[in-house]
Amino acid sequence: MKGKNSNPIRVRNKRATFEYEILETYTAGIQLLGTEIKSIRNNLVSITDAHCAFINDELYILNMHIAEYENRGYMNHETRRRMRKLLLTRKELDKWHRKIKERGLAMIPLSLYLNDRGLIKIDIALGRGKKQFDKRETLKKNDSKRDLDRVKKLNNTK
């Protein structure tokens, strides 16, 4: 019999760290429907194009794709158009709302995962968009790090 964490669900937004400079992160709960949770447990979710926005002083995630659940009954959820509410405290919401207004930053989802209690959580970040030269610099840094790791691995095997 499988345990609770035998199949950990972890969906990452790899493009977020390339496109944005991450300043601050938070973990939030997410309000989902039953078929959405079952689709996420089957790893049928993508947060690559998703972003967060304040609507009526509440924080929502928009454009997150959750595929339809195959074994549904007559009810199912909308795959992309539905706004899903993020669950944060009022203090955290007010703090982020002030930062977004005064600095013009963006809120980006970084990863979606299943915690140890079986709840779906999402890591969201406050980020500033990178310029083209910053992106090239990041690529150069990653390439040099990869080359250095490769050389270390060759030296350790000799």
Complete domains list, the chain, with CATH: 10-130 (2.40.280.10)
Predicted local confidence at residue 73, as pLDDT:
63
Predicted local confidence at residue 158, as pLDDT:
67
Each residue of 39-56: pLDDT tens digit? 888 888 888 888 888 998
Nearest partner of 59 among 99, 16, 13, 28, judged by Cα = 28
**Average pLDDT in the chain:** 82
- β-partners of residue 109 are 124
Say how far apart CA 89 and CA 68 lie, in whole Å: 30
Q: Using an 8 Å Cβ cutoff, are 54 and 99 in contact?
A: no
Residues 6+ apart with CB under 8 A from 25: 110, 123, 124, 125, 126
Q: Is pLDDT larger for residue 120 or for residue 80?
A: 120
Say how far apart CA 99 and CA 125 lie, in whole Å: 12
What is the residue-wise DSSP string for 51-79?
EEEEETTEEEEES-EEPPPTT--S----S
On whether the pTM is more than 0.95, the answer is: no
